[in-house]
Copies of this chain bind each other. A is one copy, B any other.
């Protein structure tokens, strides 16, 4: 019970969520979704991705979305950037925080972004150097940090090597991704035991998927280590397209907030208002939210016994 007293939730629904949804969401609905999330108290909302519009048509309106959101003071609005060209577009749209991405396995990196790991780290280094004069904050995702859909379990040593190179390249925070939701708390321990020495504690965040139901258990184990930065997506939107046809995706923000509230870890996030945002965006998608807390109707509200 030596948890951090406070944790930062990085809301990735508008980017990681919507990017992987089958239905295209209109720009104005994306903007409203981001604004509802910041109004719900989320301190960081990953807004969009400046990938090439041909590669990810869902994110072709990245510029418009980032310009149109109502940026609340104190809230951070990172955007995903794959390379120097994406960085230029992101900066032109006013981005002040950048998220980069690579993965711990060659085959996933190739399937996901058609690069080798070496190439993706070269890209990251170039983006970081170009971003630095603009004062942009830099976060880097390491996907398949626990398991790879093509290569199976990933050795912590391999992940540590990638993290060290990203830190050396100038990344300020690393998000360790359980991209296909295969990790258990034992895997979390094994990886954190290996990597935490590479950077200060606040240099780490965890990006869990709930594909096999273990995400919250993994959050608790991460809290045991003092980690206090967690990614999640409102409603549990999105998920890795390589994880399987019916596989559910990102840890739902509602489920994470419910857990952290219960543990007494402060987040500043309003659960009912996150549920409002989920309700809003899922009305524009082709499926119901996968968030268990959402499905349960939120926090427990006792109903007096009718026959009492």
Instruction: Give the chain B neighbours of A221 by CB distance below 8 A.
Output: 220
* Stoichiometry (number of copies): 2
User: Please, what's the 1-or-0 string for A41-68, where 1 marks a CB less than 8 Å from any CB in chain B?
Assistant: 0000000000000000000000000000
A293, B211: Cα distance in complex, Å: 7
Nearest residue, chain B, Cβ from A295: B246
Interface residues of A in 284-308 (CB under 8 A from B): 291-293, 295-297, 300, 302-305, 307-308
**Closest B residue to A107 using CB positions:** B305
Q: Which of A76-84, A94-102, A117-125, A144-152 contacts B (4 or more CB under 8 A)?
A: A144-152
Q: What's the minimum C-beta distance from A161 to chain B, rounded to whole angstroms?
A: 20
Task: State the CA gap A146–B248 with chains docked (Å).
Answer: 28
Q: Is the CB of A217 within 8 A of B152?
A: no
Determine the chain B residues whose CB is within 8 A of the CB of A107 once the complex forms. 304-305, 308
A140 at interface by CB-CB < 8 Å: no
In the complex, A189 has a CB within 8 A of chain B: yes
Contact (Cβ within 8 A) A213 B246: no
Are B184's CB and A259's CB within 8 A?
A: yes
Nearest chain B residue, comparing its CB with the CB of A244: B297
Nearest CB on B from A225, distance (A): 12
Q: A150-B305, A220-B217, A246-B297 are in contact. Are A255 and B292 (CB under 8 A)?
A: no
B contact residues around A305 at 8 Å (CB):
107, 110-111, 150
Mark each residue of chain A from 236 to 280: 1 if its CB lies under 8 Å from any CB of chain B, else 0: 000000011111100010010011011110000000000000000
List B contacts of A174 (CB < 8 A): none
A1 to B224 alpha-carbon distance, docked (Å):
11
A sample of 13 inter-chain contacts (CB < 8 A) reads A1-B186, A107-B308, A110-B305, A147-B300, A149-B302, A152-B302, A184-B262, A185-B262, A185-B263, A186-B263, A212-B293, A214-B258, A217-B219
Which A residues are closer than 8 A to B by beta carbons?
1, 107, 110-111, 147-153, 180-187, 189, 210-217, 219-221, 243-248, 252, 255, 258-259, 261-264, 291-293, 295-297, 300, 302-305, 307-308
